[in-house]
Amino acid sequence: MKRLFLPVSVAAFAVAATLVGCVQFGHREPGFVSLYNGKNLTGWGYSPSEQFDRQKEASDGRYTATSHALVVNDHVPARGPRLRQLWTTQEFAGDFVLKLEFRAAVNADSGIFLRKPQLQCRDYLVAGPYTNLTKYKPQDWNEIVVEVKNNVARCTCNGEVLEAALKLPISGPIGLEADHGQMEYRNIRILRLP
């Protein structure tokens, strides 16, 4: 019987590439479902009539799908309005946990819509409103966790409370806002609770 051995460097590269993929697009947390596939904008759109399935960029260039993140591009005046909201094509009712990571450029302003009400997602220490955060990492990756129970959301950034009791409607999509400055979102995932 003939045995096939891979050189250590090739085997190590294969393992490293697999681990990086798991960290970036799956976290492999039991029950969580990814809302961003790391390839294109499938499952997202500006409206039910303007969806971006299998497209890498929104019609006006405000949002771009990359292999590492969903990017909110800085405003391009000739291509569309400054303020834009990208929505999941799916709506979410009941209790759930939403987790995502974001990286904001200096003074960037964005937001996360939770069934329409907005949670500000920005370069917090410069743009506010949560300027007293001690665990926020400027221009680095930060994690938002939103726990929805009985239509009330508790929202944290790196474990620090942003909103203790944000009231939400019964059902609706998840959205991301484009205002100004570049934002990146990755590992956008949701766990529906019984």
Residue 7 resides in a domain = no
Q: Name the percent of the chain lying above pLDDT 90.
A: 80
* Residue 41 structure tokens: 């904008």
Predicted confidence (pLDDT) per residue in 128-176, tens digit: 999 999 999 999 999 999 999 999 999 999 999 999 999 999 999 999 9
Token representation of residue 40: 């294109």
CATH code for the domain in which residue 55 is found: 2.60.120.560
Query: Are the C-beta atoms of 63 and 71 separated by less than 8 Å?
Result: yes
Structural domain count, the chain: 1
Q: Which band of pLDDT confidence, cut at 50, 70 and 90, is reported for residue 27? A: low
pLDDT of 2 reads 44
* pLDDT per residue as tens digits for the range 84-141: 999 999 999 999 999 999 999 999 999 999 999 999 999 999 999 999 999 999 999 9
CB count within 10 Å of CB 77 equals 7
Average pLDDT over residues 16-26: 40
| Global confidence as pTM | 0.84
Checking if the pLDDT of 80 tops 90, the result is no
pLDDT-derived band at 192, boundaries 50, 70, 90? very high
Most confident region among 1-5, 28-32, 107-111 by mean pLDDT: 107-111
CB-based contacts of 116, cutoff 8 Å, min separation 6: 168, 169, 172, 175
Condensed to tens digits (0 to 9), the pLDDT of residues 31-52 reads: 999 999 999 999 999 999 999 9
DSSP state of 53: T
pLDDT at 76: 73
Asked whether the beta carbons of 83 and 175 are under 8 A apart, the reply is no
pLDDT (mean) for 13-30: 47
Domain housing 62: 30-192
On the question of pLDDT at 75 being above 90, the answer is no
In a domain, 23, yes or no: no
